[in-house]
Structure 1
Amino acid sequence: METRELRYFVAVAEELHFGRAAERLGMAQPPLSRAISLLERRLGATLLERTSRAVVLTEAGSVLLREARAALDAVAAAEQRTRRAALAASGQAGVVLATKAGASNELLAKLLDAYAAEPDSVAVDLLLCGIGEQEHMLRDGRADVALLHLPFDSTAGFDTEELVAERQVLVLPAGHPLTAREQVRTAEAAGVAGLPLARWPRRDGTYPDGPGPEVRDQAQLYQLIALGRACCVVPESVRSQLREDVTTVPVLDAPPVTTVIAWPPHSRSRAVAGLVRVATRLTSGPAPRAIGAA
């Protein structure tokens, strides 16, 4: 299969409409339909059930969609990393660090300052991401290294070093009755609190089911909480960034959030190695293994 065919199929599978997919790809619909039919004949499998009213993925189509996304991501990552390697060899590239906006602010500031003081440091380009985006940026090659947060982000396929673990807190409107408590349990977050938990989008842009409002960024989230429309559970380090009209209570049984620094296992970047070394030194972690070592 060619990457062109995979892109065509992913567009149709995501849009479930040949017209919209063709518009997204910037091509006419008939050649797109022919390309998908040719792909089905070559694979010997029906990928899409077509009717006059709808296009539906078959089981085989769902498998190919998953695999095609992974393959296209891998191709994009290879292109990105090859270009960055060429720039690094010519002395024109720094290191790209991806991190979730508003997360680990104190650690991030200390890391950037400490790394800048290293004699062999290079420029650090910072990518401030939305929820879960930093993992994807690391996978597709837009970032060289990232700060990820367990258990929310996946570290599968990356080399990592744990930096810091912290408890979680419930964010409530200032003056809420629960703020008089020293701590609460997870079940009380949306129960006794009487406020629904806000819902963040999944990676595909859809929202999980639930009574809480859909949110897209932290400013929107904290305004809804201040107005008494929602609550949320976040890492304790977020406290320093909160508005005066919201407050927090520790959540006794919430799993700790562990911040890790992650990088591709095949990385040979001295800049990434230096950044990892400084990060682990700052957090008093064990000496990191050599990047690029077996």
Structure 2
Amino acid sequence: MDSRELRYFVAVAEELNFGRAATRLGIAQPPLSRTIQQLERRMGVTLLDRTSRAVALTTAGEVLLHEGKRALSALTAAERRAQRAGGANLVLTMKPLSDGGLLEKMLATFAADPAAVDVEIRICGIGEQATLLREGEVDVALLRFPHDEPDGFAYQELLTEQDVAILPLTHRLADRKSLTMADLSGEVLPRWPGRPPNGGPLVRDSAQLLQLISLGRAIALLPASVLHHLRTDLTSVPVVDAPSSTLAIAWPEDTRSRPLAALVEAAVTAAGGRAR
């Protein structure tokens, strides 16, 4: 099948209405219906159950919708990456406060490399880096494991940090020299996008999180490097048994780019290590 047929089928499968799908695609309904019928004949399966009142997906249709959306996303990402490869810069995405204190040194090291190009920094919301990279919107991303998903990416680990507790200065535990996770039992923790409800406020960016902590509405466990950016009305306390996270620089695994390779090398140098 070609991408046009797949795009037509996905529109019908999502709308479950040929008229709405035709409007969405900007075409007339009869050629849309013929295309779906031709697709079914060629595949030898029924994709849609049609009655005078409704359209429903068959089991085969459900599978093609799932796989078809992935295929169309991959095609779009490939087009964007090809367009980006012809450009004269790299786009790096990261969420706020998440560079482990490495970004400035990394960019300075990269700028001295003969392969250097301009680097655009795109600050995104919490958990958005992998999506932007997967969809071809950016060339490279700073991810945090285990919070971000590395499937489909090549990556280089840069540093591992233990979390610290971020508290308002007025918090009952703010004057402690150290804490344990048991000390934080019963405290309100934020809920990150895509995670199950936990009774805490949904947080989409770091500025929102720090404001909620300042107001006493939550506390947070964050990598120790956020101390470089901490507001004066907040404090941090080490948590001796807190989880740790690993900062990594990631890129599409099939990418071949000398500037990108040089940027990865610069990131490893900034972290004080060697690329593997």
Bin of the TM-score, shorter chain as denominator length:
0.7 to 0.9
SS of equivalent residue, structure 2 residue 123: strand
TM-score normalised to the size of structure 2? 0.81
Aligned positions of 1:1-294 closer than 5 A: 1-8=1-8, 10=10, 18=17, 22=21, 25=24, 27=26, 34=33, 38=37, 42=43, 44=45, 63-85=63-85, 87=86, 92-104=87-99, 106-186=101-181, 188-189=183-184, 191-193=185-187, 196-202=188-194, 208-288=196-276
Alignment deviations for residues 22-46 of structure 1 (CA, whole Å, 9 cap, x no partner): 4993647956984896467757355
Q: How many residues were matched structurally?
A: 274
Change (3 A) 1:148 1:51: farther
Alignment deviations for residues 215-241 of structure 1 (CA, whole Å, 9 cap, x no partner): 222222222221121222221111222
Tell me the CA shift for residue 170 of structure 1.
Answer: 2.2
Point out the more displaced range, 279-288 or 55-64: 55-64
TM-score normalised to the size of structure 1? 0.76
Amino acid at match of 1:109: E
Amino acid at match of 1:132: G
Contact 1:48-1:61 at 8 Å conserved across structures: no
Cα distance in structure 1, aligned partners of 2:11 and 2:235:
44
SS of equivalent residue, structure 2 residue 177: coil
Contact 1:168-1:235 at 8 Å conserved across structures: yes
* Structure exhibiting the larger radius of gyration computed from Cα positions: 2
Change (3 A) 1:44 1:209: farther
Change (3 A) 1:249 1:111: same
For structure 2, the 5+ residue unaligned runs are none
SS of equivalent residue, structure 2 residue 116: coil
Greater length-normalized contact order (CA 8 Å, ≥ 6 residues apart): 2
Alignment deviations for residues 64-90 of structure 1 (CA, whole Å, 9 cap, x no partner): 4442332122101211122233x2xxx
Cα distance in structure 2, aligned partners of 1:48 and 1:253:
56
Tell me the CA shift for residue 286 of structure 1.
Answer: 2.5
Contact 1:5-1:35 at 8 Å conserved across structures: no
SS of equivalent residue, structure 1 residue 183: coil
